[in-house]
Structure 1
Amino acid sequence: MNDAAAGDARLLGPEEGAGFWQPVPANGHVRTLFSDTTVRSDARFAMGTQTVAPGCFIREHTHDRNEEIIYVVSGRGHLRLDGEERAIEPGSAVFIGRDRRHGFVASGREPLTFVWYFMPGGLDAFFAAIGRPRTPGEPAPEPFPRPENVAEIERRTVFGWTDPDYRKEG
């Protein structure tokens, strides 16, 4: 086997990967597992998990240069995709192409947790820029606001359009 041609291989344990508490309106937390900045990859990508607190939501938005795959691991809620609502539950999977308006609501009694896979990457940089570092096992902080420059962070990372009124549920 030629070591120069071999790609990366990496295993993360349940508490490994960069974690970030997320601001309102999602609350909850993100765990960044892999990206083209943490492993050698031929393709640009980012992958991780997001947990949205019960009753909270990810405001509607688009990604003008990226595609996204979501796989629901636990909890219940709904997906808003191009103005239509669809129930999501463990085992639900969705592919979201460029410039498709979407958002998520954790409408159940439990947190909504899903795996996200983002191509060509960059979502991990957004989460790090707006969140606060999280140590596994620590209690959730009180809800905290988004940074004042969130619109600039969104523009320079992976967002096209975002709902400017995040105080409402989509």
Structure 2
Amino acid sequence: MTTALSRIVRAADLPANRRRGGDIRTVLSPATVGSTSGFMGTVTIGPGEVVTEHYHPYSEEFLYLVSGRITVRLDGQESELAGGSGLFIPIGVRHRLRNDGPEVAVGVFHLSPLAPRPDLGHVDTESLPDEPAAGPGSAP
């Protein structure tokens, strides 16, 4: 059953955010559907690509890797994540994603609760190569 408040949003219809690396698309969010408790999206990381290190001072992050394989760095500790696996990232944990393999990695993420303001949702701790240094409070 679909109510008047329900909305379907296709990731392919949204622009890719590549500011942190990879192809990040925030599919369901306050901006796209008026959500109030969190947001969900997709991340696609090609061979040799990274999503630079950052953390969320207000939100937990849940990442489900649909396909591929990535190296995840959590507060300096690296682990492998394979397709079909989920990862929980607690509030305040620095995290970085890297694809060292030959296949594209595709994941779905969800963050909750929302930060009080969008500009407080992410704190970048590194920049993409050849980018200026990132600072606290950087927005996605």
What is the TM-score with the length of structure 2 in the denominator? 0.74
Aligned-pair identity (%): 32
Per-residue displacement from partner, 1:57-87 (whole Å, max 9, x unpaired)?
Answer: 1122211122111110111111111221111
In the alignment, structure 1 segments of 5+ residues that lack a partner are 1-5, 126-155
Between the aligned partners of 1:69 and 1:53, the Cα distance in structure 2 is: 20
- 2:28 aligned partner: 34
- 1:53 aligned partner: 46
1:65 aligns with 2:58: yes
- 1:8 aligned partner: 5
1:79 aligns with 2:72: yes
Over alpha carbons, which structure has the higher Rg? Answer: 1
What is the TM-score with the length of structure 1 in the denominator? 0.63
- 2:15 aligned partner: 19
Per-residue displacement from partner, 1:72-104 (whole Å, max 9, x unpaired)?
Answer: 011111111122111111111111111111111
Would you identify which runs of 4 or more consecutive aligned residues in structure 1 move more than 3 Å? Answer: 12-16
Between the aligned partners of 1:114 and 1:9, the Cα distance in structure 2 is: 23
Taking only aligned residues, the RMSD between alpha carbons, in angstroms, comes to 2.6
| 1:19-168 alignment, distance < 5 Å | 19-23=15-19, 26=21, 28-41=22-35, 43-121=36-114, 156-160=119-123, 162-163=125-126, 166-167=128-129
How many residues are treated as equivalent by the alignment?
126
